[in-house]
Amino acid sequence: MQPLLSKSPKSGSAIHDSVTIQRSSSHSSSFFIQSHIQQPYRSFIFHLSLKKRLPSALSEIVSTTPSFFSSGERQHSVALGPPLCGSGEYHSFRSSYIIHSLVDESPVNSSSSDDFAAFLDAELDSTSDTNPQQEEEKQESDDDSDDNDDDEINAVIERTKRRKIIVVDDTEEPNGSTSHIVQTEVTETSVKEDICIHPGFIGGMCIKCGEKTDDDTQSSVAFGYIHKDLRLANDEIARLRDRDLKNLLRHKKLYLVLDLDHTLLNSTRFSDLAQDEGYLLNPNDPMQDALKGSLFKLPFMNMVTKLRPFVHTFLKEASNYFEMYIYTMGERAYALEMANLLDPGRVYFDSKVIAQGDCTQRHQKGLDVVLGQENAVLILDDTEQVWSKHKDNLISMERYHFFASSCKQFGYKSKSLSELRSDESDTDGALATVLKVLKRVHSMFYDSELGENFAGRDARQMLRAVRSEVLKGCKIVFSRVFPTKFQADNHHLWMLAERLGATCSTEVDSSVTHVISTDIGTEKSRWAIQENKFLVEPRWLEAANFLWQRLPEESFPVKDVKVNH
């Protein structure tokens, strides 16, 4: 059968000119659809032969819309809805094919529309020989993707001003068979040119319409870690986050953003290795067997990296509950190399590696470059200060100081783990501890007893609830911890104690359970001893924060401070 195209579209006419569907009575399962979709300086010809089993009564065309797929290509989708008449079974079918656009600068395509239609028919033939059971299974697998397109379909329907259906009398074809032609003509009362909202840019060029702009930084954010020079508009970011959240909730996962240095690993330059760390470079040293698979010498980067104990198990188990990002203040080349050590199979992170150059604010990390809704994001980082806008999402990690240079960097005078030829525990270390917390927050978020409205939940509230149980029931007074005349409730230790569920006071009374002090000789310290209250140093509070439990007070005694005269 010849294509039904009878005239060429004229530039400047309505966006939806016409859609014609013809069914051959001799081949009840064969449909021919042809559409003209016009835009200024562009013309698209759409011809499909749908050799699929459909109800006897032809359905209404719900939408025939072009949407940008990639540079130089457009994707056309056809959706068939309920039958126009009769009680035929509801049937939905979607078919998408990429069609090259003919831009105004391009010469006329040498291939005829007949040739292009034949190409599409051949493509359809290759997938049409399936039995009904196979088609039903495919339909079920496509349901999820169809849901994601509902918003786009509804937008097209809302733009339609008037629709009329014309049923044409039976016509006779040259071979003697008759065909029933149903034509759906969609017109708009006022013809307006679609204005591109510029959802994003690559190198200053809109990814949808191709228009160049001298300033693509207004109301947009750079996502260079996804694609070089990519910027996305705020509205597009919001749309992508909403769509990704729906998919995330369907798979019952959350987002997890992971820092690298001192959180998942520790790195140092060869030249910064201490004398007691020379054994790390000696292949014959007995410690090499214990370090195998976790210590990596990287001569091309002039450094050595030690992965934190339990990190591989942590990533494997966390991936069942979270979509994970790496977010580091290091350079991109370093970040990618560390991601390769942690995830050589690119199973956990793939391209979701954010480095210093991706940050939108100097010396700060932000979730504005993460395509995840904030209410579903948890963060692991050893440096709280860089997350000033997202402290409610943050789980502070105890720093991993394997190398001597790391201890020196943060002012610790004690020897490092490598100098002591020791390491963190696999089963009781920082990553093993925080994994339990992450699993608990995830379990609370998806608690079925709270209903099925996951979209209305906030992982930050669950995290806050878990944290507030650590020191619940404790009442704390601080002594010689804050500087003189400092507003006590603004000090980070005061606020930390409250986040852990304790109450704080500036004065002692019978309800006080703990005095946190740096000097055993202060008045409040002596009161604690006299009244048989717990007297601990500030590290007790910090340890409770890192380990998510109240630790034995006797392990954190306050020492007597000697004053030199």
Does pLDDT of 90 surpass 90? Answer: no
Does pLDDT of 377 surpass 80? Answer: yes
The per-residue pLDDT for 275 is 93
* Domain(s) of CATH 3.40.50.1000: residues in the chain: 252-445
Longest dimension (CA), the chain: 118
The per-residue pLDDT for 269 is 97
Distance separating alpha carbons of residues 256 and 315, to the nearest angstrom: 10
Top pLDDT among 487 and 459 is at: 459
Neighbouring C-alpha atoms within 13 Å toward the C-beta of 106: 11
Judge: domain 475-555, CATH 2.40.110.10.
Answer: no
Find all residues with CB under 8 Å of 214, minimum gap 6, and list them.
204
- Report which DSSP code applies to 110: S
Give SS3 for 559: coil
pLDDT tens column, 255-291: 999 999 999 999 999 999 999 999 999 999 999 999 9
* Domain(s) of CATH 3.40.50.10190: residues in the chain: 475-555
The per-residue pLDDT for 197 is 87
pLDDT tens column, 299-354: 999 999 999 999 999 999 999 999 999 999 999 999 999 999 999 999 999 999 99
Give SS3 for 172: strand
Give SS3 for 10: coil
- Taking the alpha carbons at both ends of the chain, their separation in whole angstroms is 107
Banded model confidence at residue 155, pLDDT cuts 50, 70, 90: low
Mean model confidence pLDDT for the chain: 76
Average pLDDT of the residues in 153-178? 46
Average pLDDT of the residues in 93-109? 34
Candidates 3.40.1190.20, 3.30.70.3340, 3.40.50.150, 3.40.50.1000; CATH matching 252-445: 3.40.50.1000
| Contact call for residues 342 and 265 (beta carbons, < 8 A) | yes
Token output for 559: 């020492």
Top pLDDT among 358 and 137 is at: 358
Nearest one of 172, 182, 185 to 31, comparing CA atoms = 182
Does pLDDT of 50 surpass 80? Answer: no
The per-residue pLDDT for 143 is 54
Average pLDDT of the residues in 488-498? 94
- Name the β-bridge partners of 44: 37
Distance separating alpha carbons of residues 466 and 483, to the nearest angstrom: 31
What phi and psi, each to the nearest 5 degrees, are found at residue 177?
-80, 160
Distance separating alpha carbons of residues 417 and 404, to the nearest angstrom: 8
Neighbouring C-alpha atoms within 13 Å toward the C-beta of 151: 6
Distance separating alpha carbons of residues 329 and 514, to the nearest angstrom: 38
The per-residue pLDDT for 134 is 52
What phi and psi, each to the nearest 5 degrees, are found at residue 87?
-110, 30
Does pLDDT of 35 surpass 60? Answer: no
Distance separating alpha carbons of residues 62 and 78, to the nearest angstrom: 8
Between vectors from CA 134 to CA 132 and to CA 140, what angle results, nearest 5°? 105
The per-residue pLDDT for 125 is 52
Mean pLDDT lowest for which of 98-107, 160-169, 543-552? 98-107
Distance separating alpha carbons of residues 326 and 369, to the nearest angstrom: 12
pLDDT tens column, 413-451: 899 999 999 999 999 999 999 999 999 999 999 999 988
